[in-house]
Amino acid sequence: MKKLLLSYFLLTACLSFACECPPLAPVSLTNVQAYDVIFYGSVDSVSACDPKGKAIAYFTITELYKGNVVKHVPLNFDCASECLMSFAKGEQWLVYAKYEKFDFLKVTLCDHSRKKFRDATQDIYQFAAGRTFEDEKLFLNKSFGLQQFIQENSLNKQQNELGPKNQQPTAWGKVILLFVSLTAMGLVYFFTRKK
């Protein structure tokens, strides 16, 4: 009886922490309208999971079916919750992504994105999708055709090179800034005190 009760509690605990996705209909022209960008590409690299449970997978797009993006694109994904996704360098994916914020694409486990398996018998997405990986690529190609990539302009390149930075001055730089600030405050005090 104790073993049965323990098994029951373990099973319910495991099920309560499982990711619950609504059933996905096979990819059609109607349900792909919900996605901003659809492409076939390979994973170049994956960032570490940050404290908020988010990570970035960097993709090189081979075939762009829908959307306006550059050839090399970062995708945000959940890496810590029960609905986490897993990407590895060199994997090939059909990606269905939505814009989370301006210029930030996001993919989730509960969407239509699927990985290409070397052995088709291991393709866990085939049952839900109703077609093989190659059949789905062919469907997307026939439905949307291949789209052109956005060309990176010099402003995009500068933004990518500079990126958000928080550079602190060196120790000597801080001393110089302190000296200049104290001198400026002394001069302001001196000139305002005389008047």
- 10 found inside a domain: no
- 6 found inside a domain: no
Q: What is the count of structural domains for the chain? A: 1
Q: Which residues on adjacent β-strands are paired with residue 45? A: 58
- 145 found inside a domain: yes
Write b or e for each residue in 60-99: b if 16 or more Cβ atoms lie within 10 A of its Cβ, otherwise e. Answer: ebebbbbbebeeebebbbbbeeeeebebeeebbbbbbbee
- 183 found inside a domain: no
For residue 134, the domain's CATH number is 2.40.50.120
**H or E element at residue 42:** strand 37-46
Residues of the chain with pLDDT under 50: 1-16
- 179 found inside a domain: no
Q: Which residues on adjacent β-strands are paired with residue 78? A: 54
CA 66 to chain centre: 17
Residue 170 and residue 182: Cα distance in Å, rounded? Answer: 18
pTM of this prediction exceeds 0.75 = no
Look-up of token digits 């897993």: 86
- 89 found inside a domain: yes
pLDDT of res. 165: 54
- Host domain of residue 39: 22-151
